[in-house]
Amino acid sequence: MDHDLRNELLARAAEDRGVRAVLAADGSLSDGYHPRMADVHDRNAARLIEIIERHGWPGRDLVGEDGARAAWLVLQHAVGHPALQRRGLVLLEEAAARGIVPAVEVAMLADRIAYFEGRPQRYGTQYDWTEGGELVPWPIADESAVDERRRSVGLPPLEENTRRMRRDTPRPPSGWHGRRRKFDEWAKSVGWRT
């Protein structure tokens, strides 16, 4: 195991969670992609690209269980880097097939990519606000089988998860139309959409 790389990944994930907590506490996290959060994600993405180039996907065989989870968090939050997330999905799928990453990480990243590309997701892990201020799952392909897919990767039923998400995310962002417009502009500017 590469202990230095593990510690670096843990530190990067901790910084991400710390900045996210500060921005969530002051309410600015839900008001668009905050520049402080984007800076953390961009720095982490650049380093993850270097790590992947050198080692391939940093799974638990290289960086331990917690280090691999930290690497996944860095990848999942690299939202301004579509090429990295798409490449990372392929690497995670291969690693999951070898049993060195959990299938739930593949599912969550696949849904995240579908969300940013504007496509229906498969596992119901991504949520967004409606114009009326309700937090709902992003559209789901073949929704009638979503709980079966969720169960296959270790996720709770969609209804149960939606209740938890609504409880834990009580305040809708303001200015839905402006927020949606800014999101669409951002998604195009970084290459998620054409």
Q: What is the pLDDT of residue 194?
A: 85
Shared-domain flag, residues 5 and 80: yes
According to the model, what pLDDT value does residue 63 have? 96
Say how many CA atoms lie within 13 Å of 30 toward its Cβ: 18
- The reply to whether 15 falls in a domain is yes
Regions in the chain scoring below 70 on pLDDT: none
pTM metric for this prediction? 0.93
6 and 74, same structural domain? Answer: yes
In a domain, 107, yes or no: no
Half-sphere CA count of 36, side-chain side, radius 13 A: 14
**Average pLDDT, whole number, for the chain?**
94
Domain that holds residue 67: 1-101
